[in-house]
Amino acid sequence: MKRKVHLFSSLSDGLFAGNICRSPAAEAVFTDLVRKRGAESKFKIDSAGTIGYHEGDPADSRMKGAAKRRGIEVTSISRSIRPSDFREFDLILAMDMQNREDILSAYERWRFKEPLPEDAPKKVKLMCSYCKKHSEAEVPDPYYGGPQGFEKVLDLLEDACESLLDSIATENSHASVS
């Protein structure tokens, strides 16, 4: 059975979630780690924003460049979260608290319109909760900052994604992802 990991992003000011910086980078970092461990067939990995401000756009060129310097290709195209994500994915990772609240609010709105799993809110976790080497509670939004912000985001994502993958491997030792 494929493990389904879904990575989300939000701008830290909470005004909109564009899915062009943090979440596509998280998707790319996690995908790269999964590929390096030879476990691609065991995962479905995706990213989305909490609104469609940049729907259909590629990731921010600065984020793509920072990731490329680390040997990671960011190729996802922005899309918005949708109700089916709560059925399709085992884990939904938010980059910050505002994003987590937006995801949970979307779930509350949608669950009255269509059947969604009652346990879906338990699937929504903060990305940094998986960090081992960093103490930040949230992945900061690098959009309005300089190059160092994109590097910091990648540092956090690499830490969290590595720990997440290790955690999944430990939970499912039969999955052979380590």
- How would you write the pLDDT of the chain (178 residues) with one tens digit per residue? 666 766 665 443 333 456 889 999 999 999 999 999 999 888 999 999 887 778 888 999 999 999 999 999 999 998 989 999 999 899 999 999 999 999 999 999 999 999 999 999 999 999 999 999 999 999 999 988 899 999 999 999 999 999 999 999 888 775 455 4
pLDDT of residue 175: 47
pLDDT at 129: 97
Helices 22-36 and 147-171: crossing angle, nearest 10°? 50
pLDDT of residue 144: 87
| Active-site annotation holds for 22 | yes
- What pLDDT is stored for residue 6 in this prediction? 66
Task: Write down the catalytic residue from 60, 85, 96, 141.
Answer: 141
CA distance 44 to 15: 29
* SS3 category, 123: helix
Q: Which domains are delineated in the chain?
A: 3-175 (3.40.50.2300)
Label residues 88-113 b or e (16+ Cβ within 10 Å = b): ebeebbbbbebbbebbeebbeebbee
Taking the whole predicted model, whether its pTM rises above 0.75 is answered as: yes
CA 83: distance to chain centroid? 17
Q: Which of 22, 32, 60, 100 is catalytic?
A: 22
